[in-house]
Structure formats: structure tokens, C-alpha cells
């Protein structure tokens, strides 16, 4: 296995912690990118990877993204991420694995605060919380303030999509605007419902084709195969599934004016941000537009999670996007690079 220090996505991370508990069946990684602004906050995902390097790379990229996301959202939190490795595709995490992961989080003494991500649920957070207090996103009945961060992420993405439509398309209303949504889970599905209320024209795609068809029937939308959604002719393409989908090849095939969605790490490489910029496609940096969930769980952990404050913070997402786009226009730099530069200044790495 390649050394962690030699992986391209190692970015002077403060710590990369590997955990294994054979009795519980746990193999996990917790990557702490920065604690300059506060404890490293970021969710934990349960996922199957082809090899260990890919799992570590995911943790490195996601934790760095959380540093940037929390900084851009104005939260006094650093960035971290947990990854629990599934033995095979389709596995579900066990209670023993959750308890062992909770113990792993506790061993870091508060430097990392975990929350829900792919393959996890509010119930998962409740089990983890039996082993550590450094967890957020708990159901209200278990002492949390908001539970599932998905609807809050969807709300922020929705507001960001409207800002992107105004900037990139010159429209003040989403009525008739064609949005192609990749992934209709908690975030993409929530986004689709909000846009449908505004009269947007929607095309949906999801790896779970039946889920996409059911939502399309509910909203009066169309569906296409997942391998066709990115190249579909649409006003806005909104990625809301897994990351690294904007590659040299997929960018060349784009037939849209705007990319704005909630998926993490949409750009496969930094150069792909420049490719979007060169094509004149307006890009909403993912960790800026999708900050609604971490705003909710972060404020919950900090004891500031009343609904009014959460909504007020999420409502500032379009302002931050406009700040990024304005600087991109002034400097000629891709919006992805501009967002990274602002975030790095905020975490003391400018």
C-alpha cells in the first residue's frame, strides 16, 4: 500500500487514524484535516471500496472538504471525516461496528465530531452516541436538535440553485427552468420537490431506477438512465450522488450552462474546475452550496441549534456563492480555485 503521505490528496492533514476491531468487524479511518477553527466536524460513511487506498483517499478528500465547508459556512469548526469499510457491496452496518466506531471517536478526545453520512442513519448516530458524546445529528427523541441533516442540505442546495439560475441564466424564477438531477435520495429528492413547487422542468436519474420513477410520477418529471443525466441538454445539471463525476470526459460532454448540486467532491481533479471555467459553465463549488446539513448538526453540537439560527445561516449560502463568483469574474480564476483560496485563508493556510 502506498504511504498516506504520498497520496495526492494528503494535504498536511493533522491526523489520519486507522482503526480495526476484529471482534466487532470494524475497519475504519478517521481523517482530521484541520482543527484551527475548532474540533474537526464531519460525517461518517459506511461504504465498500475496491482497496484500502481508495478508502483512505476518500477520507482525505472528504475531510479537507469539510474544513473548507465549515470555514465557508462561518462555523467555529474544523474538518474531519470518518469512513467505515463495508466487506462487500450492499452490506449494512451492524450495531457492534457502530459501537466500536463510537469508541474510536471517543479515543480522539473531542478532536473529531461525527455525524450522519452515506450508509448511516439517525438510528446509527444514536448507537454511536452510547460510546461517545462527540456526535451530532441525533434524533430529537434522543436529545438532538434536528436529526437527519439531509433536508437542511437540500434547503441550502435549493437556495444555491436559485442563485446559480439568476447568475448563470439571468432568471429570477425557476418556472420552466430545466434542471437535470443526478441522485434523488434525501438531498436530491428534497431538492426536486422544492423545485417542482416552483414550476421547474425536472429530469431525474438515480442508481435506484424505481425510486427515480416513483418520484418522477409524483412530481410530473421525466427520468433518464444514470449514465445519460450529465450529458442531457438542460439549463442546470445538479449532481446529488457520489463524487468525482466531473472528469475531462464528462465535462466535454456537458450540455448545460450551470452545475449546481449537493454531491461532495464533484470535481475528479482540480484541473476539472478549470475545464468547466474554460467552457463558460457556471459552477457552484460543492462545499459552499451543500453546507446546510453541517450547519444544522454543527450548531446542534455547539448548543446553538435553534431552528431560526439554522435557517438564517443556511440563507447565507447564496451570498457566499455570489462572493465566490464575483471574485472569479474579477480575477479570471475558476470558481473552484477561488473558493479553495478563500477557505484556506479562513483556516489559516492562505
Is the separation of the CB atoms in 246 and 268 below 8 Å?
Answer: yes
Cβ-proximal residues to 117 (8 Å cutoff; 6+ apart), any chain: 42, 43, 44, 45, 81, 82
DSSP letter string, 293-338: HHHHHHHHHTT---HHHHHHHHTTHHHHHHHHHHHHHHH---HHHH
Please identify which of the residues 81, 131, 201, 257 carries the catalytic annotation: 81
Q: How many CB atoms lie within 10 A of CB 50?
A: 7
In eight-state DSSP terms, residue 188 is: H
Cell numbers that stand for 327 in this block: 471574485
- β-strand partners of 204: 181, 223
Question: Which alpha helices (DSSP H) does the chain contain, by range?
Answer: 52-72, 95-107, 122-128, 150-169, 186-197, 209-219, 248-252, 270-278, 286-289, 292-301, 307-314, 317-331, 335-346
- Give the integer Cα–Cα distance in Å for 46 and 101: 11
Residue 242 burial by CB count (10 A; 0-12/13-18/19+): exposed, middle or buried?
A: middle
Task: Go through the chain and tell me how many residues it has.
Answer: 350
Q: Identify the residue whose cell numbers are 438532538.
A: 144
Told to judge if 81 belongs to the known catalytic residues of this protein, a careful annotator would answer yes
- Give the integer Cα–Cα distance in Å for 6 and 15: 14
Active site residues: 81
Amino acid at each position: 500500500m502506498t504511504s498516506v503521505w504520498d497520496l495526492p490528496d494528503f494535504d498536511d492533514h493533522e491526523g489520519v487514524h486507522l482503526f480495526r476491531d476484529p471482534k466487532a468487524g470494524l475497519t475504519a479511518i478517521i481523517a482530521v484535516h484541520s482543527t484551527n477553527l475548532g474540533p474537526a466536524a464531519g460525517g461518517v460513511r459506511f461504504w465498500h471500496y475496491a482497496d484500502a487506498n481508495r478508502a483512505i483517499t476518500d477520507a482525505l478528500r472528504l475531510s479537507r472538504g469539510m474544513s473548507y465547508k465549515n470555514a465557508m459556512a462561518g462555523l467555529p469548526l474544523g474538518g474531519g471525516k470518518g469512513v467505515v469499510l463495508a466487506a462487500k457491496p450492499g452490506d449494512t452496518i451492524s450495531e457492534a461496528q457502530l459501537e466500536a466506531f463510537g469508541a474510536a471517536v471517543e479515543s480522539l478526545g473531542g478532536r473529531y465530531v461525527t455525524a450522519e453520512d452515506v450508509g448511516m442513519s439517525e438510528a446509527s448516530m444514536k448507537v454511536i452516541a452510547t460510546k461517545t458524546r462527540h456526535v451530532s445529528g441525533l434524533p430529537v427523541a434522543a436529545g438532538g436538535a434536528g436529526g437527519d441533516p439531509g433536508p437542511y442540505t437540500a434547503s441550502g442546495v435549493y437556495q444555491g440553485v436559485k442563485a446559480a439560475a439568476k447568475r448563470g441564466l439571468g432568471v429570477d424564477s425557476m418556472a420552466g427552468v430545466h434542471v437535470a438531477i443526478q441522485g434523488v435520495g434525501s438531498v436530491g429528492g428534497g431538492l426536486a420537490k422544492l423545485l417542482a413547487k416552483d414550476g421547474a422542468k425536472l429530469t431525474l436519474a438515480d442508481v435506484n431506477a424505481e425510486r427515480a420513477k416513483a418520484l418522477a410520477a409524483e412530481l410530473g418529471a421525466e427520468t433518464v438512465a444514470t449514465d445519460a443525466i450529465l450529458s442531457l441538454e438542460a439549463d442546470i445539471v445538479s449532481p446529488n450522488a457520489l463524487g468525482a463525476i466531473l472528469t475531462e470526459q464528462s465535462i466535454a460532454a456537458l450540455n448545460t450552462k450551470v452545475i449546481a448540486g449537493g454531491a461532495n467532491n464533484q470535481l475528479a481533479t482540480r484541473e476539472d474546475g478549470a475545464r468547466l471555467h474554460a467552457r463558460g459553465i457556471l459552477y457552484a463549488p460543492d462545499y459552499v452550496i451543500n453546507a446546510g446539513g453541517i450547519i444544522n448538526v454543527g450548531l446542534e453540537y455547539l448548543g446553538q441549534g435553534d431552528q431560526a439560527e439554522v435557517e438564517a445561516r443556511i440563507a447565507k449560502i447564496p451570498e457566499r456563492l455570489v462572493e465566490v463568483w464575483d471574485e472569479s469574474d474579477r480575477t479570471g480564476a475558476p470558481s473552484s480555485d477561488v473558493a479553495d483560496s478563500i477557505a484556506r485563508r479562513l483556516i489559516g493556510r492562505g
